[in-house]
Amino acid sequence: GAGVSQSPSNKVTEKGKDVELRCDPISGHTALYWYRQSLGQGLEFLIYFQGNSAPDKSGLPSDRFSAERTGGSVSTLTIQRTQQEDSAVYLCASSLSQGISNQPQHFGDGTRLSIL
Amino acid sequence: AQSVTQLGSHVSVSEGALVLLRCNYSSSVPPYLFWYVQYPNQGLQLLLKYTTGATLVKGINGFEAEFKKSETSFHLTKPSAHMSDAAEYFCAVSESGGANSKLTFGKGITLSVRP
């Protein structure tokens, strides 16, 4: 079946521009996660959505970062006024359910974001 | 708070040799532990996981890992390396029974396999 789909696969933009990254989770997966992978910081948690509950935003690095999940499915991560330190690979993952931490997360191939 | 330590950033082995990638964790609650593999320009693929029960866990591609609570370790092994095993490997931990299963990752280890 289809896995987690992310778009675009690559994005190059100028410093100061806004960007939107999209994630389509696996059908039926209620939990959705965003992570950031960068050379200096490794893999970092950004935000977590579960059903209609309020998202866990504890990993967002600044108020320039926001995310939404419409209809419990597709999610968009938005970065406003991009900075060069935002350059990274942004990974999305989905899993089956909340409260059962042994359900593995399935990852997309990521969006490679480069800020000029 | 949880943390994962993967010592060293690069391991090189000969084809057919034993692969041993080390992972130590810190967690205030019983942990769930994972190993993921990442090939170039791809996302993370789950190799294996430990939740409860048997401490020796077998995964895909001939990999296995053993959970040792007394040593707070979850080292990954494979008896005989193959060229296709060359990739980056991440150990991760999440809270058991927690409402939020967010993963805390180690820095990753790049595995090279020499012919």
Q: Name every chain A residue with its beta carbon within 8 A of the beta carbon of B4.
A: none
- Residues B1-49: pLDDT tens digits? 789 999 889 999 999 999 999 999 998 788 889 999 999 888 899 999 9
Whether B94 and A101 lie within 8 Å, measured CB to CB: yes
State the count of interchain CB pairs (< 8 A) between A and B.
Answer: 68
Q: Which region, left, alpha or beta, applies to residue B28 given φ > 0 means left and ψ of -120 to 50 means alpha?
A: alpha
Task: Give the sign of the dihedral formed by CA B93, CA B97, CA B98, CA B100.
Answer: positive
pLDDT for residue B63 is more than 80: yes
3-state SS record for A33-52 = EEEEEECCCEEEEEEEEECC
Handedness of CA A22, A101, B9, B25 (dihedral sign): positive
Sequence letter at residue B42: Q
pLDDT of residue B96: 65
Q: Is B104 on the interface with A (CB under 8 A)?
A: yes
Strands (E), A3-110: 5-7, 10-13, 19-24, 31-38, 42-50, 65-69, 75-79, 88-95, 106-107
pLDDT tens, B76-105? 999 999 999 999 999 999 876 555 678 999
* Spatial separation of the C-alpha atoms in residues B32 and B52, rounded to whole Å: 8
Residues 6+ apart with CB under 8 A from A50: A30, A31, A32, A98, B99, B100
A70 — phi, psi (to 5°)? Answer: -95, 135
**Given an 8 Å threshold on Cβ–Cβ distance, is B44 in contact with A109?**
no
**Closest residue by Cα to residue B102 from A1, A74, A103, A62:** A103
Chain A residues with CB-CB distance to B2 below 8 A: none
Instruction: Give the model confidence (pLDDT) of A77-114 as tens digits.
Output: 999 999 999 999 999 999 887 555 567 899 999 999 99
Is A56 in Cβ contact with B49 (below 8 Å)?
A: no
Over residues A51-77, mean pLDDT:
92
User: Does residue B89 sit at the A interface (CB-CB below 8 Å)?
Assistant: no
Per-residue pLDDT, averaged over A21-32, amounts to 93
> Is the CB of residue A95 less than 8 Å from the CB of residue A104?
yes
List all residues of chain A from 31 to 70 with a beta carbon under 8 Å from chain B: 31, 33, 35, 42-45, 48, 50, 56, 59
Residue A71 pLDDT class (50, 70, 90 cuts): confident
What is the model's pLDDT at position A1?
56
Chosen from B3, B33, B35, B44 to mutate, greatest number of chain A CBs within 10 A? B44
DSSP, collapsed to helix, strand or coil, labels residue A58 as coil
